[in-house]
């Protein structure tokens, strides 16, 4: 974001991909960026509009198979996201968005579909629907203020299962729920400045440290966001208690 006046949060295709409150990720990202002293410009990009290459943080959410396929088809014809990431932008991709950031994913009507290849992950059709609460311990390689991130809490609902290749690392070790698939033991992936996860909730409302991690990449300040309201701690405590911690 060097030389730019506002931190630009780009929400990709809210008309196609936004389930289980994913819009909250845009709200929390913008809110915490402001707490860090940034002016924020939030840009919601509908699926018939071009993706700006000047984004600082790109957000993409979850969705059913059909809108997911349509989103992938459109994004494959638009290099704005890839250029934005090459220029130092960061991204959070949730569920369908996570799958389509990978090499390929499965559509129930048309089978295997090409993804964007931004993350070294591949998704296929699972045998059971993964639905319910998830808790997971974040990869210790990721830190905010020099400390590991608190346990993740979120909600998942997907048929796809995802394999993480050697170019990426799993985002977290699953304690309860499924994440990348029953028995996978992990959720999501991270690679460079991209974080992918199956967690809705919205994930940033339940895990604001994840927003701080991404904002730290973008503004170069690794410290946690100075936040006085701690409502998210109550939300986290309640959701973690619901699955026995
Ligand atoms: N359509 C994908 C699946 O079922 C993603 C679902 C979602 O984003 N909630 O695997």
Give per-residue pLDDT as tens, 182-207: 999 999 999 999 999 999 999 999 99
Task: Examine the residue annotation and report whether 158 is marked as an active-site residue of this protein.
Answer: no
Q: Which of 103, 158, 200, 232 is catalytic?
A: 200
Ligand 1 lined by 188 (C-beta under 6 Å): no
What distance separates the 2 farthest-apart alpha carbons in the chain? 49
Task: Determine the distance separating the centroid of ligand 1 and the alpha carbon of 160, expressed in angstroms.
Answer: 6
What distance in Å separates the CA atoms of residue 94 and residue 99, rounded to the nearest whole number? 8
Sign (positive or negative) of CA dihedral 36, 39, 41, 42? positive
Q: What is the mean pLDDT of residues 56-78?
A: 98
Q: What is the mean pLDDT of residues 94-117?
A: 97
Residue with tokens 């991204």: 91
Ligand 1 lined by 116 (C-beta under 6 Å): no
pLDDT for 36 beyond 60: yes
Ligand 1 lined by 123 (C-beta under 6 Å): no
* Token pair belonging to 34: 């402001």
Q: From the annotation, which residues make up the binding site for substrate? A: 129
pLDDT at 45: 98
DSSP state of 165: -
pLDDT for 2 beyond 80: no
pTM of the model: 0.97
pLDDT at 44: 98
Ligand 1 lined by 65 (C-beta under 6 Å): yes
**Spatial contact of 58 and 81, defined as CB atoms under 8 Å apart:** yes
What distance in Å separates the CA atoms of residue 189 and residue 179, rounded to the nearest whole number? 10
Task: Determine the distance separating the centroid of ligand 1 and the alpha carbon of 23, expressed in angstroms.
Answer: 16
19, 60, 68, 134: residue to mutate for ligand 1 pocket, most atoms within 8 A of CB? 68
Task: Examine the residue annotation and report whether 200 is marked as an active-site residue of this protein.
Answer: yes
pLDDT at 5: 80
1 or 233: whose pLDDT is higher? 233
| First-to-last C-alpha distance (Å) of the chain | 38
CB proximity list for 48: less than 8 A, separation 6 or greater: none
Ligand 1 lined by 160 (C-beta under 6 Å): yes
User: Across all residues in the chain, what is the average pLDDT?
Assistant: 96
Tell me if the bond preceding 202 is cis, omega within 30° of 0: yes
Domains in the chain, CATH or no CATH each? 7-242 (3.40.50.880)
């Amino acid at each position: 974001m060097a030389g730019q006046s506002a931190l630009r949060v780009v929400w990709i295709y809210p008309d196609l991909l936004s389930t289980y409150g994913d819009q909250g990720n845009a709200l929390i990202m913008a809110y915490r960026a402001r707490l860090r002293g940034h002016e924020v410009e939030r840009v919601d990009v509908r699926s018939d509009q071009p993706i700006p290459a000047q984004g600082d943080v790109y957000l993409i959410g979850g969705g059913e198979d059909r809108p997911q396929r349509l989103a992938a088809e459109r994004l494959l014809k638009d290099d704005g996201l890839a250029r934005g990431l090459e220029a130092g932008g960061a991204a959070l991709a949730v569920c369908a968005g996570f799958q389509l950031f990978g090499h390929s994913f499965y559509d129930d009507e048309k089978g295997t579909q090409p993804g964007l290849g931004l993350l070294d992950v591949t998704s296929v059709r699972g045998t059971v629907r993964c639905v319910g609460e998830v808790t997971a311990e974040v990869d210790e390689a990721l830190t905010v203020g020099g400390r590991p991130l608190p346990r993740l809490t979120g909600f998942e609902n997907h048929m796809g299962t995802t394999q993480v290749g050697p170019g990426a690392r799993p985002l977290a070790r699953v304690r309860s729920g499924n994440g990348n698939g029953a028995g996978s033991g992990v959720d999501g992936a991270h690679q460079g400045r991209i974080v992918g996860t199956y967690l809705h909730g919205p994930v940033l409302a339940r895990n604001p440290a994840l927003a701080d991690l991404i904002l730290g990449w973008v503004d170069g300040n690794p410290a946690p966001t100075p936040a006085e309201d701690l409502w998210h701690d109550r939300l986290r405590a309640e959701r973690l208690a619901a699955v026995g911690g």
